[in-house]
Amino acid sequence: MCSHYQTLKDAELLLKKFGVRDKTAAIGKYDMWPRYEGVFVRRPVEHDAGDEAVPEREVVLGRWGLISGSTGPDGLAAAEKLSTFNARDDRVANAFTFRNAWRRAQHCVIPADAIFEPDWRSGKAVPTRFTRADGGPLGIAGLWDRYRDATGQWQESYTMLTINADDDPLFRDYHQAGKEKRMVVILPEVAYGDWLTAPAADSRDFPAPFPSDKLVATPMK
């Protein structure tokens, strides 16, 4: 699982790499931890309205840690305490927190400079920073949802999809021994558009390991 990542510092990269039109898009915090406000890219809610003014993609500021749109006012306090920053690909379709977004194909791409995972091979956790070998940003597959807060206002939230990494050449060496290894779904750039527009029936076609030789792991000592 990923509980720490770094988003983009440069808003121009949202234009160049993620196809976002708005040059004034806010980036939010750079060092991201669960429940922080971060950015994600999605198709606008009004994408099928037939309005030419609606862009193909937009960048949205939301809570990292998805809260289901079906959560009622009485359940918000409990929902905010849950660890919903990652969604397992093998449980996402049936989990209460995520199934609304999954069934509605509310896909998003989360821009990142780097993700962090702990290396336990020395017997203690060594934070390790993973980046793309070519220096480009990572595009992580995620889901988004929106819920009404106590005042009735819409609030946005998102989560990262994860897959099993027990046999991955790189990520199998991370996390504690004896525990399942998992990794976030890093999309190739050519798949961003397909993921954002994919119907629910095709959602399972995308979660796959990113080539390990295209990533660099740097211990943060």
Strands 58-64 and 37-42: antiparallel
pTM summary value: 0.93
From the candidate CATH numbers 1.10.150.20, 3.50.30.50, 3.90.1680.10, 3.20.20.100, the one assigned to the domain spanning 5-116+134-167+184-212: 3.90.1680.10
Phi-psi region at 26: left, alpha or beta (left = phi > 0; alpha = psi -120 to 50): beta
> Closest Cα partner for 195 from 140, 145, 157?
140
Total count of residues recorded for the chain: 221
**At residue 24, does pLDDT exceed 70?**
no
The average pLDDT across 158-177 equals 92
Task: Supply the pLDDT for residue 26.
Answer: 64
Region 107-134: mean pLDDT is 94
Are the beta carbons of 203 and 102 closer than 8 angstroms?
Answer: yes
Q: Residue 74 to residues 35, 96, 114, 148, 150: CA-CA distances in angstroms?
A: 19, 15, 36, 11, 9
Q: How confident is the model at residue 145 (pLDDT cuts 50, 70, 90)?
A: very high
Number of CB atoms found within 10 A of residue 59's CB: 26
Helices (H), the chain: 12-18, 76-79, 96-103, 192-197
pLDDT value at residue 49: 58
Per-position DSSP letters for 60-114, written without gaps between them: EEEEES---TT--GGGHHHHTTS--SEEETTTTTT-HHHHHHHHTT-EEEEEESE
E-assigned strand segments in 97-194: 107-112, 114-119, 126-132, 138-148, 154-164, 182-184
Band (pLDDT 50/70/90 cuts) for residue 21 is: confident
- What tens digit of pLDDT does each residue of 60-112 get? 999 999 999 989 888 888 999 999 999 999 999 999 999 999 999 999 999 99
* Neighbour tally for 20: CB within 10 Å: 21
Between CA 69 and CA 144 the distance in angstroms is 10
Whole-number Å distance between alpha carbons of 140 and 22: 20
Domain ranges of the chain: 5-116+134-167+184-212
- Cα–Cα distance between 20 and 26 in angstroms, integer? 12
pLDDT in the model for residue 211: 96
